[in-house]
Structure 1
Amino acid sequence: MTTSKRVQDRSQNKRVHDLEIATEKWKIVSKVLFLMEILKQEPEQIIPVRSLDQYRRQINLPKPHKISDFIRKSPKLFELYKDQKGVLWCGMTREAEDIVQEEERIMEAYSEKAAEHVTRFLMMSVDKRLPLDKIAHFRRDFGLPIDFRKNWVCRYPEHFRVVKNEDDIEFLELVSWNPPWAITELEKKVMGVCEDHQPGLLSLAFPLKFPSDYKKVYRYGGKIDHFQKRSYLSPYADAHQLTAGSLEFDKRAVAVMHELLSFTIEKRLVTDHLTHFRRELVMPQKLMRLLLKHIGIFYVSERGKRFSVFLTEAYEGSELIEKCPLVLWKEKVQTLIGYRGRKRKIETYSDFVEMEDKNLFESESEEDNVRMQPEEEDTMCGLVDSSLSDQFEMEIGDIHGAYKTS
């Protein structure tokens, strides 16, 4: 049994290198997109570089590093110039402006699908409503526009509406239940869409994809098979009667995570955002433990200061198997990033370890986010707890011991 073991303490040979590379290659892109969004909100899409200093915390750029140094690394996207008073300004190149307009067109075309995913998110929640500020953390993951709080949410009154509670906190609330949308992505692959579907118990197995350096799966085949055959409650069904820590409770939580990750454009999420929804989605307190335990379904990456969780079935190596237009657009932006316009090619684990040591930035940045310290569930401490388990359940110690050693 493993106790007091942190995610970061996994040795290099216990990581899925392809998915670590997938995390690394988007780190700088996220900073660039953050800067582009700041410029988009300016009246003339230009801003004094010194005014960007207020965003140091969001983009995790510690002094004495200069923001202008980072901007100069992407001359195909950003321009720097001084006015008559010697004030340094930043703006977007014509190519960047075209890229921004292209994103707006893609987001508009994707809007209906994004509205479906947000509605289904609300349908999975226990109160059928979620704090708007919490949904903001998933804005880019769900493909929502930057003005989604002011304008976008008002475009779909048939699905949801903004309400305020007694503390004047804004919530997005479900307006009407849509039976065809209460079908999980796994169910769709088997039975398709049913107009009068009623969510209940499911017996569908989750697709599994184990790391290449994982020892022969048959060693734990019995436990894996037992988990896969166990029935579980649909993420869209009422979960009030489930006992926290029970096997049924945990398997439903796996189904909720699988469904939520399926909604995202990259089939991955920052884990500390997920912890904000424990109560709303009826999730276990130690969510990280659950994600680590089911390595064939999920993979947790520790690159930078924050953790990301991947839906492993959605990836082949370090690449998404199915890329929506927003992902293809993001890849296009990536080709325009780099010192003197050159893109750094990342192919191996050692490549991005070396790159991380040289980068100015060390963590991902997103709208409305500040860097957070890993929460309690980001450590694997006290794994022998009051959770109900049996001899058929795989433990974290089993998982960590199931890798080939070099």
Structure 2
Amino acid sequence: MMFCSLFYTAKNYGFLHSCKQGFIYQQKFSLVNIKLKWVKDRTMDSVVTCQRDLKAAGILVSIIYSSPECCLPIYRLSRHRGQLGLPDDLKLATFVRRYPNIFVESSFLDSGGSPVPCFGLSREALKLRCKEVDIGIENQFELRDRLCKLLMLARDWMLPLQTIDQLKWDLGLPYDYQDSFIRNHPEIFSFVRLPDDRVGLKLLFWDDKLAVSELEKNASLQQEDQDIKSGTFRFPISFTRGFGLKRKSMEWLKEWQKLPYTSPYTNASHLDTRTDVSEKRVVGVFHELLHLTLHKQTERKNVSNLRRPLGLPQKFTKAFERHPGIFYISKKNDTQTVVLREAYNGGELVRSHPLVKIREEFANLLKKGLLDRSRGVYKKSMEDKWLE
């Protein structure tokens, strides 16, 4: 009996060992066909839910604040609608009127005698915007470095302005960064004409000090000494409660973590895009990109046109689905938002940038505005004003 037991154990070990060796071979020379299911995570969804309105309101506040009279007619605000990310069927005036504790409405008569709605800022919103401007000035060099690192991820150190425009809110850049930010650093950035005739932004020099990924930076805290020496950095992983991994998937993931890590700041043209080693590099690129954002999240569509500039393979965003322990895809707000799991402890960021804290104050103001409006607070105050 003992002999049989030992024989069975050895046989079972041999099977598992063969499986393991098979995975290692496949991962180095092919892309292992593993599919992991998407599982809803209410906590992760909660960090995305308010972002759409916050972004739209934040950009509008910035635009109004920058105007000479701190008040703009609705048709002037509508010119910036493309930046706001609001649903096509939602009128801009309707959105602005949701938050009377932020946007103060007035009007003037046009040449035909019709009233034209105008919007300024409430005292609370004005106060918060002033704080935000001060924080932006205090952190301008740190924000500059974020933009430098983004460009360093790209081939030839340049990206189309259209691509940067999609990420500017996430990176903490001003809505008018081309004029108010880039022109303050002519020794670092330059506007260039791209081969497809679009305008791009180019980084003028490489900075080795910035060419260190977040994963490498935290290696001494998160990695084992053996992994650091071998260069096989492991990504922090956590799953939604109740998420179950099959044994085969667990073995694959364990061996995938042991594959060589290629820094997103190094040339990876030598990698075969049909291998797990190449996929680990893709994961590393987006792990770094999400770390460059303030909220450690961005809409999936914002990265869809990064394939060529970042030298990524076809269908590169599939990496988000294959690695739900690193990335969470939220389907809130009628879009898909990619969130970096390790950046959150529950529904809170592990480390909050000063600009995030200001945005949280704006978010609280938005919630208060909706609540007070539903209670009829502003309707009553307007009636009192008319009675006066």
Query: Does TM, normalized by the shorter one, top 0.5?
Result: yes
Per the alignment, do residues 306 and 155 of structure 1 end up closer, same or farther by CA in structure 2, a change over 3 Å counting? same
| Structure-2 residue corresponding to 1:70 | 95
**Distance in 2 of aligned mates of 1:82 and 1:165:** 43
Give the corresponding residue for 1:104.
Answer: 133
Amino acid at match of 1:291: F
Instruction: State the match for 2:57 in structure 1.
Output: 32
In structure 2, the residue corresponding to 1:19 is in which secondary structure? helix
Equivalent in 114, 138, 161 of residue 167 of structure 2: 138
CA distance in 2, matches of 1:340, 1:165: 44
Task: Say which of 104, 107, 112 aligns to 1:82.
Answer: 107
| TM-score (norm: length of structure 2) | 0.76
Residues 340, 171 of structure 1: alpha-carbon distance in 2 compared, 3 angstrom cutoff:
closer
CA offset at residue 191 of structure 1?
A: 5.0
Displacement of 1:53 in angstroms is 5.1
Match of 2:25 in 1: none
* Counterpart secondary structure, 1:135: helix
How far apart, in 1, do the equivalents of 2:153 and 2:367 lie? 41
2:179 counterpart of 1:172: no
Of 209-218 and 133-142, more deviation after overlay is shown by 209-218
Seen in structure 2, the aligned counterparts of structure 1 residues 88 and 119 have a Cα distance that, compared at 3 Å, is: closer
Structure-to-structure mapping, 1:252-401, within 5 angstroms: 252-338=281-367, 340=369, 342=371
Alignment partner, residue 30 of structure 2 = none
Q: Distance in 1 between matches of 2:367 and 2:98?
A: 5
Preserved CA contact (<8 Å) 2:146 2:171: yes
Any gaps of 5 or more consecutive residues in structure 1?
193-199, 345-406
Q: Structure 2: how far apart are the matches of 1:233 and 1:260?
A: 15
More off after superposition, 235-244 vs 156-165: 156-165
Q: Is the 8 A contact 1:201 1:233 kept in 2?
A: no
Q: Residue in 2 aligned with 1:392? A: none
Check the 8 A contact 1:61/1:67 in 2, yes or no.
no
Q: Structure 1 pair 167/54, CA: closer, same or farther in 2 (3 Å)? A: closer
Matched position secondary structure for 1:89: strand
Q: In the alignment, which residue of structure 1 is the partner of 2:22? A: none
d(CA) in 1 for partners of 2:76 and 2:350?
40
C-alpha displacement of 1:171: 2.1
Q: Is the 8 A contact 1:103 1:326 kept in 2?
A: yes
Task: Find out whether 1:46 has 2:71 as its counterpart.
Answer: yes
CA distance in 1, matches of 2:195, 2:281: 32
Give the letter aligned to residue 341 of structure 2. T
Q: Please give the TM-score of this superposition, normalised by the length of structure 1.
A: 0.73
Match of 2:43 in 1: 18
3-state DSSP of counterpart to 2:191: strand
Aligned partner of 1:393 in structure 2 is none
Q: 2:179 aligns with which of 121, 145, 150?
A: 150
- Secondary structure of 2:317's match? helix
* Contact 2:52 2:86 (8 Å CA) reproduced: no
Q: How many residues align?
A: 327
- Does the 8 Å CA contact 2:160/2:199 hold for their aligned counterparts? yes
Residue 258 of structure 2: aligned partner: 229
Provide closer, same or farther for how the CA distance between residues 282 and 202 of structure 1 changes in structure 2, counting only shifts above 3 A.
Answer: farther
Higher relative contact order (CA 8 A, sep 6+): 1
Question: Is residue 143–residue 173 contact of structure 2 (8 Å, CA) maintained in 1?
Answer: yes
Matched residue type, 1:15: K
Deviations 1:339-360 (A, max 9, x none): 756389xxxxxxxxxxxxxxxx
RMSD of equivalent CA atoms? 2.8
Work out whether residues 300 and 308 of structure 1, in 8 Å CA contact, stay in contact via their aligned partners in 2.
Answer: yes
Deviating more after overlay: 304-313 vs 121-130 = 121-130
Shift of 1:61: 4.9
1:213 aligns to what?
242
> What is the Cα deviation at residue 150 of structure 1?
2.0
Counterparts in 2 of 1:92 and 1:257: CA distance versus 1, 3 Å: same
Question: Deviation of residue 181 (structure 1)?
Answer: 1.4
Deviation at 1:218, TM superposition (A): 6.0
Contact residue 336 and residue 342 of structure 1 kept, 8 A: no
SS class of match (2:46): helix
Q: CA deviation at 1:205?
A: 0.4
Q: Is the 8 A contact 1:134 1:276 kept in 2?
A: yes
DSSP-derived class of the 1:249 partner: helix
Amino-acid identity (%): 28
Counterpart of 1:315 in structure 2: which amino acid? Answer: Y
Q: Which of the pair is proportionally richer in helix?
A: 2
Partner of 1:375: none
- Tell whether the 8 Å contact from 1:73 to 1:340 is kept in structure 2 after alignment: yes
Residue 150 of structure 1: SS of its match in structure 2?
Answer: helix
Show structure 2 runs of 5+ residues with no match: 1-32, 222-228, 374-388
The structure having more radius of gyration, on CA atoms, is 2
